[in-house]
Amino acid sequence: MQTPSSLAPGTTIAIVGAGRLGRVLARALRAVRLDVLGPFGRAEQIPDADIVVLCVPDAAIAEAALVARPHAGVLGHVSGATPLDDVDFSLHPLQTFTGTESAEVFHGIGAAVAGRTPAAREVAEQLAVALGARPFPVDDAYRASYHAAASFASNFLLAVLDSAERLASAAGVPGDDARALLAPLVRRTVENWEASGAPAVLTGPIARGDEATVARQRAAAAEVELSDLFDALAAVTRTIAARPAPATEEPSA
């Protein structure tokens, strides 16, 4: 992909939505010396701007877009799942936000972009590059799959980690200690997955075929009402274990 040209000097960008992402996005765009207005609450008057970016819940996009359209040269949203029916472009940072992050939080992350026209998509790409992110295209037809991937990698991962914390607590390890002790294991697992993919790095009793240990683990999960989750994850893990790991290249003589 060609690197899009920079935003024209003097371009004004209005942020609508003062939640977690809206606050961080406004802060980050100001940090690279762009002319940012807001973030504005949805009930506030929106000034005219070259670009208006909606940082509102998915269910509020259509209504917010209707209000913002007369004030926007180009209108976009930051939703990963919502199509472009009501806006010109989308820019979805592939990251989780609490609202307290510094401007550097966008540096090096992916940002899914789309546009109803090539010019609109270029605006999304320009914003991503200005933030220090890496833009990549996701068409409307694949938006649900893309956003589900993000949910598995973040939201559902937290559900699994919370379950691990509950099981550790049942074993007598307090929550704070459990998170501190399990976190290095989580980090190394993610690093290994990033480098080689799941089939190549899967370990544990399912990968070893140690069914007696799996049964004991399931019984422990049932004691804290996690048997359904255990069964679902074990089934997927068996599928991964059955997949051949990618072949590694032999070193040349």
Residue 246 has pLDDT above 90, yes or no: no
Domain boundary pick from 84, 118, 142: 142
**Segment 147-179, tens digit of pLDDT:** 999 999 999 999 999 999 999 999 999 989 999
- Cα separation of 1 and 6, whole Å? 15
Domain-located, residue 86: yes
**Segment 108-146, tens digit of pLDDT:** 999 999 999 999 999 999 999 999 999 999 999 999 999
Contacts of 204 (CB under 8 A, 6+ apart): 237
Domain-located, residue 2: no
Q: 227-242 and 155-170 helices cross at what angle (nearest 10)?
A: 120
Q: Which of 133, 150, 21, 15 is nearest to 81 (CA)?
A: 150
Q: Is the full-model pTM beyond 0.85?
A: yes
Find the CATH number of the domain harbouring 94: 3.40.50.720
In this prediction, residue 30 has a pLDDT band, given cuts at 50, 70 and 90, of very high
Q: Where in the sequence is the domain holding 234, given as residue range(s)?
A: 154-242
Q: 20-31 and 118-131 helices cross at what angle (nearest 10)?
A: 80
On whether both 107 and 162 belong to a single domain, the answer is: no
Find the CATH number of the domain harbouring 180: 1.10.1040
